[in-house]
């Protein structure tokens, strides 16, 4: 045992495993490295089978969820009062009938569901009701990459701010309280207040950045939306990371490292942070979901042609096809993100595998 007797005596089984790999690897008790070595252990075949089974199960549940969502969405849209063609100026009955036929609303409910599934498997999500010049897949194909890019940038930004700050705070006496306070303040500023404030400061007062608009070839249009999206996520991550870091600093590897006389910074960055990050990984799922579902406000304020807006406007316009398409796309993205996070955890953390 290279770890201190006190540590190995107090911790639970997985942490003992740490200690063993530490010995196998040498004097550096790095949890990441140790876990990766376990991944290459001789029982890798079983792991692969487990993984495949896990993936297959995931695929089935995802498809079932999507189907359930489709049925629920369509049923809700049919159930709410007010249809897609209820306008102030009512079109003549024959025109309404032609519209209903074009969007297959004259068919029985389950035929509509069946038709939708059949068309969707061919990649056809139908024509939009509100924007009749476009098919839903065209609208989503244009909007989803924007929302995803901004969301990913926001996650990266919030991580790159939260990680150093959390590490710095971890070495301070009242670090945890400070982190809570900071995240509370950041959370207390809703996006519909934050975004206009940012515009006021950076676009109107300083004139550095555009007030709104979006273009792929104009990165300056990304800055304010990403900032507005990132701040609340930064708050969530900072808090989660700080708490996990605190716990990690009390864990045997960190205590062992500290006992060996490594500097405080090294203990935090090399020993505690990797452990805290693996635990924080679980938070990334909800963070990404919040980014997708909460993007509507930011997209509205900055005039960004993203997916979040469709979730709101399509529901209000009773744009059946666009709403279902957007909901299913978001659901699919969420499922994929969760799957990736699961896989990462699976690769990193041996406890998940068993």
Partner 1 sequence: MRRWTIALGLALAALLSSAAAGALTLQRGNGPEPDSLDPQRAQGLSAQQVLRDLFEGLMRDDADGQLVPGAAQRVAVDAGGLRYVFTLRADGRYADGSKVTAADFVYSFERALDPATAAPSAAMLAPIAGAAQRLRGESAPLGVRAIDEHTLEIRLDAPRSDFLRRLALPIAMPVQRGAIEAHGSGFTRPGRLIGNGAYVLKQWTPQAWLELERNPHYRNAATVAIDSVRFHVTEDASSELKRFEAGELHLTETLPPGQLARLRAAHAAELVVAPAYATFYLGYNLRNPKLDSAALREALSLAIDREILVKHITGNGELPAYALIPEVAAGAPQMAAAGWTPRQRQQRARQLYLGAGFDPDEPLLIELRYNTSLANRRLGLAVAAMWQEVLGIDTRLRNEEWKVFVQTRRAGVITEVFRGGWFADYADPLNFLEPFTVGNTLNAVGYADPRFDALVARAAASAGADREQALHGAEQRLLDADALIPLFHYSSKHLVSRKLCGFHAHPLDHHPSEFLRFCEASR
Nearer to partner 1, 156 or 215 (CB): 215
| Interacting residues toward partner 1 by CB under 8 A | 80-83, 86-92, 94-95, 97-99, 102, 127, 130-134, 139, 142-143, 196, 199-200, 203-204, 207-215, 218-221, 223, 300-306, 309, 316-318
Rounded least distance, CB 87 to partner 1, Å: 7
Nearer to partner 1, 312 or 341 (CB): 312
Residue 291 φ then ψ, to 5°: -65, -40
Rounded least distance, CB 85 to partner 1, Å: 8
- State both tokens at 157: 């930004």
Nearer to partner 1, 285 or 303 (CB): 303
Distance linking the first and last C-alpha atoms of the chain: 24
Nearer to partner 1, 220 or 263 (CB): 220
- State both tokens at 183: 């995240």
Rounded least distance, CB 209 to partner 1, Å: 8
Rounded least distance, CB 49 to partner 1, Å: 46
d(CA 102, CA 126): 10
Q: What are the residues whose beta carbons fall under 8 Å from the beta carbon of 189, sequence distance 6 or more? A: 197, 231, 232
Rounded least distance, CB 302 to partner 1, Å: 7
**Among 40, 9, 43, which Cα is nearest to 25's?**
40
Nearer to partner 1, 90 or 265 (CB): 90
Nearer to partner 1, 89 or 173 (CB): 89
Nearer to partner 1, 210 or 232 (CB): 210
Phi-psi region of 318 (alpha: psi -120 to 50; beta: other; left: phi over 0): left
d(CA 183, CA 5): 37
Q: How many CA atoms lie within 13 A of 231 on its CB side?
A: 21
Rounded least distance, CB 102 to partner 1, Å: 7
Q: What are the residues whose beta carbons fall under 8 Å from the beta carbon of 152, sequence distance 6 or more? A: none
Largest CA distance in the chain: 85
Rounded least distance, CB 171 to partner 1, Å: 26
């Amino acid at each position: 045992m290279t770890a201190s007797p006190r540590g190995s005596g107090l911790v639970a089984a997985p942490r003992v495993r740490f200690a063993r790999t530490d010995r196998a690897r040498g004097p550096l008790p790095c949890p990441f490295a140790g876990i990766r070595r376990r991944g290459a252990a001789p029982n890798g075949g079983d792991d692969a089978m487990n993984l495949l089974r896990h993936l297959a199960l995931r695929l089935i549940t995802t498809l079932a969820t999507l189907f359930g969502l489709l049925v629920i969405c369509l049923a809700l849209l049919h159930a709410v009062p007010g249809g897609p063609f209820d306008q102030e100026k009512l079109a003549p009955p024959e025109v309404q009938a032609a519209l209903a036929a074009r969007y297959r609303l004259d068919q029985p409910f389950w035929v509509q569901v069946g038709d939708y599934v059949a068309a969707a498997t061919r990649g056809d999500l139908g024509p939009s009701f509100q924007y009749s010049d476009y098919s839903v897949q065209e609208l989503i194909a244009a909007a989803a990459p924007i929302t995803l890019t901004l969301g990913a940038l926001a996650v990266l930004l919030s991580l790159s701010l939260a990680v150093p700050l959390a590490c710095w705070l971890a070495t301070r006496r009242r670090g945890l309280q400070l982190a809570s306070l900071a995240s509370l303040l950041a959370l207390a500023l809703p996006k519909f207040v934050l975004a206009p404030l940012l515009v006021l400061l950076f676009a109107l007062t300083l004139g550095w950045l555009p007030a709104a608009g979006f273009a792929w070839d104009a990165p300056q249009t990304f800055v304010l939306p990403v900032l507005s999206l990132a701040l609340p996520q930064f708050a969530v991550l900072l808090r989660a990371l700080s708490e996990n870091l605190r716990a990690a600093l009390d864990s045997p590897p960190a205590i062992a490292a500290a006992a060996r006389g490594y500097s405080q910074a090294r203990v935090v960055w090399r020993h505690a942070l990797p452990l805290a990050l693996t635990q924080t990984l679980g938070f990334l799922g909800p963070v990404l979901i919040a980014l997708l579902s909460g993007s509507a406000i930011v997209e509205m304020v900055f005039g960004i042609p993203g997916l979040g807006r469709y979730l709101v406007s399509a529901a209000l316009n009773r744009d059946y096809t666009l709403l279902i398409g957007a909901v299913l796309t978001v659901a699919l993205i969420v499922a994929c993100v969760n799957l990736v996070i699961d896989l990462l955890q699976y690769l990193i953390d041996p406890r998940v595998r068993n």
